[in-house]
Amino acid sequence: MRERATRAHADRGTTAAADRHRRRRGTLVVDALDTSTVARLQLLAGNAAVTRMLSGHPATVQRQPKTGSPGVVVHPASQLSADEIVRRLKKNKNVPDFLKKSLFSKNGAIVIPANKVPKAPAGTFSDFLQPFIDAITSPDWQITTAASTIEINGTPPDKLTFKQVVTPHLSKGQRLGASVKTGPGEKTFMADTLFSQDKEIIFGWTVPASSTEQLKTSRGLVVIVTKITVTDPQGRTKEFTPTEDEVLESVMHEIAAHAGRITAGLPDTHGNRAVEDISDDIAKFFRYSDAARGVVPFSTATRIFEFVGAKPAAKP
Ligand SMILES: [Zn+2]
């Protein structure tokens, strides 16, 4: 399990463009690719297919049949309801006003009614808007909250290792993963762990429908981290709660930069220019600093790095 996830993540780490981008911007990674899908592709199809997927080749992106009601359905086990997510988006000062008017909660889903599809104000252009609309007006997505744990070992400030596991809030017994053919007439369920060994703090993760069969929705799952438990090298444990802005930015980021891109059959891998433009758009709503003349890191990530004595993330 861990072996598979780790290897897959190492593959992702070799996407040089993503790494370069991360260093250049100095911002913190807010999510991660569904490593399990990569691992499974590797098992089934060999590295060529994985390389295609990592380079964003849409041919390997699994598209879902268009069934079910449009809207991002909130999972029953989510600690934030559809009403609450929409209420928070509408009252947040960083969410653009033209968008607030289009967002509603209906039957436990986040929706954009057909007669209220948002348009960017005249003379402006939004990279995030179309993919955001694409995801929410499709029947492709579900969302839930998550708790994550980060175990940090080694010696501060620069010889630290991270083990980070994101556990989405799902119903009892439900797991992410997929059944794979393991023999003639034989299928085995392979559970997926949302796992990272990178020195990053994960605030969200978008899991394609190919890993959600136990949820029985035919939808992919957007995962939003609402609690982070960190253990430092001395064994001290501290709990961190992402701020409301961080949670809402992650909701918008995962929906636009990942879910919406996947719905449109477009690559959603970081390093892709369009994905980065969408990310930057949304990051600027929430984290633009006049003093820093750019986007500053997530404050919760900064606090976690301080707690463990890690070097602060590079400034943009
Ligand atoms: Zn992302």
State the distance from the centre of ligand 1 to the C-alpha of 213, rounded, in angstroms. 23
Mean pLDDT across the stretch 114-138? 94
State the distance from the centre of ligand 1 to the C-alpha of 258, rounded, in angstroms. 6
pLDDT of residue 44: 45
Q: pLDDT of 284-297, one tens digit each?
A: 999 999 999 999 99
Q: Where do the domains of the chain lie?
A: 2-307
Residue 276: is its pLDDT beyond 60?
A: yes
Residue 14: is its pLDDT beyond 70?
A: no
* Cα–Cα distance for residue pair 149/119, rounded to 1 Å: 39
State the distance from the centre of ligand 1 to the C-alpha of 183, rounded, in angstroms. 36
Answer with the residue of higher pLDDT: 57 or 187: 187
State the distance from the centre of ligand 1 to the C-alpha of 202, rounded, in angstroms. 10
State the distance from the centre of ligand 1 to the C-alpha of 309, rounded, in angstroms. 26
State the distance from the centre of ligand 1 to the C-alpha of 101, rounded, in angstroms. 25
Q: pLDDT of 85-111, one tens digit each?
A: 999 999 999 999 999 999 999 999 999
Mean pLDDT across the stretch 62-70? 64
Answer with the residue of higher pLDDT: 313 or 181: 181
State the distance from the centre of ligand 1 to the C-alpha of 239, rounded, in angstroms. 23
Residues 6+ apart with CB under 8 A from 232: 152, 238, 307, 308, 309
pLDDT of residue 4: 31
Answer with the residue of higher pLDDT: 217 or 52: 217
Instruction: Name the burial class of residue 159, with classes exposed (0-12), middle (13-18) and buried (19+) by CB atoms within 10 angstroms of its CB.
Output: exposed
State the distance from the centre of ligand 1 to the C-alpha of 262, rounded, in angstroms. 12
Residue 54: is its pLDDT beyond 90?
A: no
pLDDT of residue 68: 87
**Interior/surface letters 264-281, b for 16+ CB within 10 angstroms, e for the rest:** bebbbbbbbeebbebbbb
State the distance from the centre of ligand 1 to the C-alpha of 216, rounded, in angstroms. 25
State the distance from the centre of ligand 1 to the C-alpha of 278, rounded, in angstroms. 9
